[in-house]
Amino acid sequence: MAKITFVQPDGSKQTVTAENGMTVMEAAKRDAIAGIEAECGGACACATCHVYIDADWAGKTGKPAAMEEDMLDFAFDVRPESRLACQIKVTDVLDGLIVRVPAKQF
């Protein structure tokens, strides 16, 4: 179980609780986090679950796999800390994770 805080572009924050085995995208959708579209439902095929991982957490969320890297090419305003939220599995290690939502998804 992990508490995940989503930070909107205006600085507003919302913290959700996610169970292990869910993805960060699923946790966001369940709690209706604004700005996470996830149009493909988590198949790594849309890039509309694009988020920025807070620098302190990058080591714990890991690096994107090749398929995720390819899909990130379609995201808006991609940065080194960009990830697709559907490709990050929740574990206890991510308790306290801070995720920034981009200004738009495409």
By CB under 6 A, residue 78 contacts ligand FES: no
By CB under 6 A, residue 4 contacts ligand FES: no
**Separation of alpha carbons 1 and 95, rounded Å:** 7
Nearer to ligand FES, 2 or 86 (CB): 86
Please name which of 93, 96, 53 lies closest in space to residue 72, comparing C-alpha atoms: 53
Under a CB-based contact definition with an 8 Å cutoff, are residues 34 and 105 in contact? no
Q: Which parts of 13-72 interact with ligand FES (CB under 6 A)?
A: 25, 38-40, 42-49, 71
The CB-of-75 to ligand FES minimum distance in angstroms stands at 9
The CB-of-52 to ligand FES minimum distance in angstroms stands at 14
* Angle, alpha carbons 98-59-6 (nearest 5°): 10
Using CB under 6 A, pick the residue from 28, 86, 97, 99 that binds ligand FES. 86
**Separation of alpha carbons 79 and 3, rounded Å:** 24
